[in-house]
């Protein structure tokens, strides 16, 4: 049973007029372990009961069934609950060992569909370190929601439409060479794109040529479409290499171009509801009542914009997937844009407008420098992952030269280190990436967590992976309590991460559990032959299982040996 639920159940008898959810909201964890495992404040009852909080606490304690606790005591205006450590610890271990894959999961989703739009690189450009954030935050949120019984639809909404592709076509027609593109597709196309942007200040006709090519694309010109399909195909091949390294898989690669073919419906709906207003030859939607800048729906030259395509996308996804949530994992700088999108859908009369949620995140810099594709100063994500694997391989060779599968482990550790470093930060915060700080086996790193788990597996191998059937798990000992408490928090950790769409909650949990286990390992003779040995090994097994599950939720693999 959930330990917090034991406290709520005990309080229900004393406060029958309060709902279970209200009681659960009030129950808290004391910062100091000396004040028990859980505490219940009584300040809020003083007004209705017309008594001092301490007196209320004293009266409630007398009504509480204390059978499942070591003790329940009054501490000023608080009731402090001290759990029966042996009993609760045994229940936690039993639950983990009985079903390690599902431990910590809850049915928050009831099989509801959730679409997650993430990664979304632009074709004809390399995936930079900046793409790591959206890709792995989105992937991790998907895994966390699946753990909570949502059905997740992963969408890579490719940036494969817009005036930038007109610019690229213009650049290719001026300077391009098919053989050069075939030799090194992405970098060659990127060089064309950077060049036309760099020289456009002195040659405004380049910008005009870009507009002309995009207009050709929108109107079905054969050569424009041939180039677009080619650029998209070679880009997807390169993206897939990176996704395979990160173990990321999508259900749909429908991008802006797909939505561009479906724009008649939202435009007609806007017209039917008299929502389109003329402004300097263009057509907008007035969002003054939301204190939002009016979004441009159709430009003065008749071409469409991002938001026109996103309206079509939103209609298609609701119709196709019947989602209960539609998440967009996009940088924080787009916050107002998604407010506009939701407001327009609301104005159009769609009741599900509030199912759309913008999952924002801070920028990533590399060694303190901001990255920009347009200026050409991008850092390739694939290169960084390969460099991290190389660095991990060097450290593993030093620490364990006899490791059986060093290349496989180096990939798990190197790639896992990059992913964990990103996800351990609150997604809203900006992140600066320095490779030398990431691939370390100590500190708040992915390898530190992976190594703690590998250590647990090593202990179990020494005992030939024992069976725990009919073991008295209450014999684990009081020294294990900090680890047991941490194991017991896994379910509420996943729930908080799901509700906040924040993988850092799981990453910080994994670090805390690894730290508690390492301290336990340092001060406890786990393998000494006594009546508690098998219970201690059961604890080690439980730690290994939960660390593996926590890392998996982040998209990080857990090697058995390091």
Burial of 62: CB neighbours in 10 Å, binned 0-12, 13-18, 19+: exposed
| Best CA proximity match to 460, nearest among 540, 380, 561 | 540
Sign of CA dihedral 474, 476, 479, 481: negative
CB 526 within 8 A of CB 535: no
Phi, psi (rounded to 5 degrees) for 157: -80, 85
- pLDDT one digit per residue (tens) for the chain, 562 residues: 578 889 999 999 999 999 999 999 999 999 888 899 999 999 999 999 999 999 999 999 999 988 889 999 999 999 999 999 999 999 999 999 999 999 999 999 999 999 999 999 999 888 988 899 999 999 999 999 999 999 999 999 999 988 889 999 999 999 999 999 999 999 899 899 999 999 998 999 999 999 999 989 988 999 999 999 999 999 999 999 999 999 999 999 999 999 988 999 999 999 999 999 999 999 999 999 999 999 999 999 887 889 999 999 999 999 999 999 999 999 999 999 999 999 999 999 999 999 999 999 998 887 767 655 555 567 889 999 999 999 999 999 998 999 999 999 999 999 999 999 999 999 999 988 888 889 999 999 999 999 999 999 999 999 998 999 999 999 999 999 999 999 999 999 999 999 999 999 999 999 999 999 999 999 999 999 999 999 999 999 999 999 999 999 999 999 999 9
The pLDDT, as a whole number, for residue 371 is 59
pLDDT for position 1: 55
- Residue bearing tokens 């703690």: 452
Residue 372: predicted pLDDT: 56
Pair 456, 516: CB distance under 8 Å:
no
Tokens for 445, please give them: 């790193």
Cβ proximity of 266 and 344 under 8 Å: no
Phi, psi of 117 (to 5 degrees): -100, 110
- Two tokens at 276? 């389109």
70: three-class secondary structure by DSSP: strand
Write out the two tokens for 118: 């993430």
Q: How far apart are CA 67 and CA 100, in angstroms?
A: 28
Contacts of 47 (CB under 8 A, 6+ apart): none
The pair of structure tokens assigned to 262 is: 């479906």
Under 8 Å between Cβ of 557 and 551? yes
Find tokens 């959730």 and name the residue: 114
| Interatomic CA distance for residues 555 and 137, integer angstroms | 9
d(CA 468, CA 474): 12
Encoded tokens for 204? 């405004």
Pairing outcome for strands 78-83 and 113-117: unpaired
Three-state secondary structure call for residue 431: strand
Alpha carbon distance 338, 360 (integer Å): 10
Map 510-557 to HEC letters.
HHHHHHHHHHHHHHCCCCCCCCCHHHHHHHHHHHHHHHHHHHHHCCCC
Q: Which residues contact 75 (CB under 8 A, 6 or more apart)?
A: 35, 39
Longest Cα–Cα distance of the chain, Å, equals: 86
Q: Which residue has the tokens 């195909």?
A: 233
**Which domains does the chain possess?**
3-83 (3.30.1360.70), 113-260+322-366 (3.40.50.620), 381-553 (1.10.730.10)
**Strand intervals (E) in 161-271:** none
- Predicted confidence at residue 171, as pLDDT, reads 97
Query: At 54, is the secondary structure helix, strand, or coil?
Result: helix
Kindly report the backbone phi and psi dihedral angles of residue 128, in degrees, each rounded to the nearest multiple of 5, phi listed first.
-95, 175
- CB atoms < 10 A from the CB of 55, how many? 14
Q: What is the pLDDT of residue 531?
A: 95
Closest CA to 252 of 340, 337, 160: 160
Sheet harboring 69-75: ordered strands across?
38-41, 78-83, 69-75
CB 551 within 8 A of CB 450: yes
Structure confidence at residue 65 (pLDDT): 84
Q: Are 510 and 493 in contact (CB under 8 A)?
A: no
Q: What is the model's pLDDT at position 377? A: 60
Give the HSE-up count for residue 200: Cα atoms under 13 Å, Cβ half-sphere.
20
Q: How many of the other CB atoms lie within 10 Å of CB of 205?
A: 10
Burial profile 96-127: b = 16 or more Cβ within 10 angstroms, e = fewer:
bbeebeebbbeeebeeebbbbbbbbbbbbbbb
């Amino acid at each position: 049973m959930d330990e917090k639920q034991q406290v709520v159940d005990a309080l229900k008898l004393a406060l029958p007029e309060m709902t279970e959810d209200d009681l659960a909201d009030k129950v808290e964890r004391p910062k100091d372990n000396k004040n028990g495992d859980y505490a219940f404040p009584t300040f809020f009852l003083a007004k209705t009961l017309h008594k001092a909080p301490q007196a209320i606490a004293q009266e409630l304690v007398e009504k509480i069934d204390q059978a499942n606790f070591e003790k329940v005591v009054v501490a000023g205006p608080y009731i402090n609950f001290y759990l029966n450590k042996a009993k609760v610890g045994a229940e936690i271990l039993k639950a983990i060992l009985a079903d390690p894959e599902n431990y910590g999961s809850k049915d928050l989703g009831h099989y509801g569909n959730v679409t997650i739009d993430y990664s979304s690189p632009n074709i004809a450009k390399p995936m930079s370190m900046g793409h790591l954030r959206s890709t792995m935050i989105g992937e991790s949120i998907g895994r966390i929601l699946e753990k909570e019984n949502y059905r997740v639809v992963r969408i890579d909404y490719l940036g494969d439409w817009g005036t930038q592709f007109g610019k690229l076509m213009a650049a290719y027609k001026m300077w391009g060479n098919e053989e050069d593109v075939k030799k090194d597709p992405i970098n060659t196309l990127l060089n064309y794109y950077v060049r036309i942007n760099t020289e456009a200040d002195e040659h405004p006709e380049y910008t005009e040529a870009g507009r002309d090519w995009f207009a050709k694309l929108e109107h079905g010109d054969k050569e424009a479409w041939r180039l677009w399909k080619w650029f998209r195909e070679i880009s997807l091949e390169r993206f897939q290499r990176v996704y395979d390294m990160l173990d990321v898989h999508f259900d749909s690669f429908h991008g802006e171009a797909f939505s561009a073919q479906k724009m008649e419906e939202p435009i007609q709906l806007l017209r039917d509801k008299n929502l389109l207003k003329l402004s300097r030859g263009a057509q907008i939607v007035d969002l003054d009542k939301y204190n939002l800048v009016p979004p441009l729906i159709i430009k003065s030259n008749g071409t469409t914009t991002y938001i026109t395509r996103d309206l079509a996308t939103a209609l298609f996804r609701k119709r196709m997937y019947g989602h209960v949530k539609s998440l967009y994992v996009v940088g924080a700088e787009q916050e107002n844009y998604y407010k506009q999108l939701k407001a327009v859908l609301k104005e159009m009369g769609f009741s599900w407008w509030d199912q759309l949620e913008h999952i924002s995140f801070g920028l990533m810099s590399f060694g303190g420098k901001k990255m920009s594709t347009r200026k050409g100063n991008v850092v390739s994500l694939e290169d960084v992952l390969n460099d991290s694997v190389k660095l991990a391989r060097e450290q593993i060779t030093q620490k364990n030269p006899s490791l059986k599968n060093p290349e496989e482990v180096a990939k798990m550790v190197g790639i896992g280190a990059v992913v964990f470093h990103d996800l351990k930060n609150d997604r809203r915060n900006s992140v600066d990436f320095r490779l030398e700080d990431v691939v370390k086996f100590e500190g708040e790193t992915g390898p530190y967590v992976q190594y703690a788990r590998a250590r647990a597996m090593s202990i179990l191998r020494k005992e030939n992976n024992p069976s725990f059937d009919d073991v008295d798990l209450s014999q684990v000992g009081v020294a294990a309590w900090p680890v047991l408490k941490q194991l017991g928090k896994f379910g509420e950790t996943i729930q908080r991460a799901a509700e906040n769409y924040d993988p850092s909650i799981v990453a910080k949990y994994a670090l805390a559990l690894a730290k508690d286990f390492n301290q336990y390992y340092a001060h406890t003779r786990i393998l000494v032959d006594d009546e508690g040995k098998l219970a201690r090994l059961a604890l080690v097994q439980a730690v290994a299982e939960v660390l593996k599950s926590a890392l998996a939720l982040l998209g990080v693999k857990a090697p058995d040996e390091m």
